[in-house]
Copies of this chain bind each other. A is one copy, B any other.
């Protein structure tokens, strides 16, 4: 304004160029968006199925509402059938069951209490009645809202309390007389049950998504992700390996998995038996496995910071501890893989103990190597510290994996997993350890001594042990 040196207005040509540019921008944005949508759909095709299932349920219920003969029977209450489907239909069967049950029982309870409140109010005559009802609504809604902060209620009945508040307020202040309320409640409840049942039937029968199965698979995937990091760690730490490195970041999704696991376990609690899982499968034990898996992932996060500080030329010291260090991480990775495998097949995790045992032997080897090297190596202190710290974290990881193994053992007991004498896991064991020496038998009890108590072995013990480990090495490299 009043500034003569302002740029001239755009010419028609530049304006047209701009229009074309912004048009192509819009085109680009649409293309981007449609690619995103495609990716979301392809990442998990069940998302498409779920959308179609919801559409089907709502269309069905709407049609019943639309058809005149039915409409007359249920009247405006038909609206509650649609409302129920919209809010109750969730992605997993468990979540749908949970919401449906909560909605049904809460409506019933709140309806009854609402009728009671209405009758009580009527005793006081028309002028005092609104005050009495208002007071009752205030107290019950306040108490119900507060109850949503109680963890056990929040976990399983949060939606029920919400519906309780809604129904109680609606019924008690509806201003109808009791007989009319009961008629209305009957109609409303029957449409809610109709809507809820439609959801539950479609959710369970048309390509069902079970929260329990998802939780089971999630835990298996997490174990596998940790295993691939540890499997690749040795190579990555000691030489610049080429190729796909996505396995180095995959474990990160484990770090923040607590909320997902807990909600899946909650929903699984509501589910009936399905596939390999009975009703009342010990879903709670999955949460314990999850806790140790995350703890392991925290240690891996700490370990991964040593990958950045990789030194171009490995020092003498680094080479001295390379073998036991790589064996520790590869054996613990194998243990995790076996654990994941036994969970996947739902068999007793007997083969993983061998690898945990082997990784513990590698710790002893490491101690020997360190004892020899700490004396000769005098210069690069920083590098030495870094290598020692990394190996020490791997020792912690081995401890964590032992805890995971115990938790899975407990799960296998609670859920009656097949014993190794059964077909599959026996085959696995035989294939992996054909010539196992007497010293590295499969251990039948994983709790034989905490890692903290390990002491450096006397020389002759180590000599004996190294022979066994050498025997074993041939087998390991063949796997």
Task: Say if the beta carbon of A97 comes within 8 Å of chain B.
Answer: no
Bound Cα distance A386, B55 (Å): 59
The residue among A150, A169, A172 with the most chain B CB atoms within 10 A of its own CB is A169
Q: A52 in the interface, Cβ–Cβ < 8 Å?
A: yes
Interface string of A221-236 (1 = CB under 8 A from B): 0000000000000000
A76 interfacial contact with B, CB 8 Å = yes
Please report the C-alpha to C-alpha distance between residue A391 and residue B173 in the assembled complex, in whole angstroms. 67
CA gap between A384 and B374 in the complex, in Å: 10
* Chain B residues whose C-beta falls within 8 Å of the C-beta of A37 in the assembled complex: 146, 150
Q: Which residues of B contact A367 (CB under 8 A)?
A: 381-382
Chain A 263-301 residues near chain B, CB threshold 8 A: 294-295, 298-299, 301
Cβ contact within 8 Å between B58 and A141: yes
Does A41 interact with chain B (Cβ within 8 Å)? yes
Q: Which residue of chain B has its CB nearest to the CB of A400?
A: B305
Are the C-beta atoms of A162 and B87 separated by less than 8 Å?
yes
Is the C-beta of A336 less than 8 angstroms from some C-beta in chain B? Answer: no
Integer count of this chain's copies in the complex: 2
Interface status of A393 (Cβ within 8 A of chain B): yes
**Per DSSP, are chain A's interface residues mostly helix, strand or loop, or mixed?**
helix
Q: Which of A116-148 contact B (CB under 8 A)?
A: 130, 133-134, 137-139, 141-143, 145-146
Find A381's partner among B59, B138, B371 (CB 8 Å cutoff): B371
A375 at the interface (CB under 8 A from B): yes
Please judge, given known A-B contacts A133-B66, A175-B66, whether A166 and B54 are in contact too, CB under 8 Å.
Answer: no
Residue of B nearest to A79 (CB): B170
Of A146, A371, A396, most B-chain CB atoms within 10 Å: A146
Number of interface residues of A (CB under 8 A): 84
Q: Is the CB of B62 within 8 A of A137?
A: yes
CA distance A130 to B70 in the complex (A): 14
A63 with B134: CB separation less than 8 A:
yes
Q: With both chains docked as a complex, state the minimum distance between the C-beta of A399 and any C-beta of chain B, in angstroms.
A: 8
B130 near A66 with CB under 8 A, answer yes
Contact B393 A62 (CB under 8 A): no
Q: Which of A60-86 contact B (CB under 8 A)?
A: 62-63, 65-68, 71, 76, 79, 82-83, 86
Q: Does A204 contact B (CB under 8 A)?
A: no
Chain B residues, Cβ within 8 Å of A51: 142-143, 145-146
Give the Cβ gap from A325 to chain B, nearest Cβ, in Å.
12
Per the bound structure, the CA–CA distance linking A134 and B76 in Å amounts to 19
The chain B residue sitting closest to A301, CB to CB, is B298
Is A173 a contact of B371 with CB atoms below 8 Å?
A: no
**Which B residues lie within 8 Å of A71 (CB)?**
175
Give complex CA distance A295, B308 in Å: 15
Whether A62 pairs with B134 at a CB distance below 8 angstroms is: yes
Smallest distance from the beta carbon of A162 to chain B beta carbons, Å?
6
**Which residue of B130, B137, B381 contacts A58 across the interface (Cβ within 8 Å)?**
B137
**Contacting residue for A83 out of B134, B166, B452, CB 8 A:** B166
> Does A207 lie at the interface of the complex (its beta carbon under 8 Å from any beta carbon of B)?
no
Question: Are B382 and A385 in contact, with the CB atoms below 8 A?
Answer: no
The answer to whether the Cβ of A48 comes within 8 Å of any Cβ in the partner chain is yes
- In the assembly, what is the distance between CA of A83 and CA of B454, in Å? 64
Q: Which of A22-30, A208-216, A252-260 contacts B (4 or more CB under 8 A)?
A: A252-260
Contact A298 B170 (CB under 8 A): no
Which listed residue, B48, B299, B392, touches A146 by the CB 8 Å rule? B48
Q: Do B82 and A149 touch across chains, with their CB atoms under 8 A apart? A: no
Residue A426 at the chain B interface, CB threshold 8 Å: no
Query: Distance in Å from the Cβ of A302 to the closest Cβ of chain B?
Result: 4
Q: A441 in the interface, Cβ–Cβ < 8 Å?
A: no
Closest to A167 in B: B86
5 A–B contact pairs at CB < 8 A?
Answer: A54-B165, A68-B175, A299-B305, A374-B377, A393-B393
Given contacts A71-B175, A256-B259, A302-B302, 19 further A-B contacts (CB under 8 A): A37-B146, A37-B150, A41-B146, A59-B138, A62-B134, A63-B130, A63-B173, A66-B134, A66-B175, A76-B76, A86-B165, A256-B258, A298-B298, A301-B302, A302-B393, A305-B399, A374-B377, A375-B375, A382-B454
Nearest 10 A-B pairs (CB), nearest first?
A389-B392, A55-B142, A302-B302, A51-B146, A51-B145, A62-B173, A55-B141, A389-B389, A54-B145, A86-B166
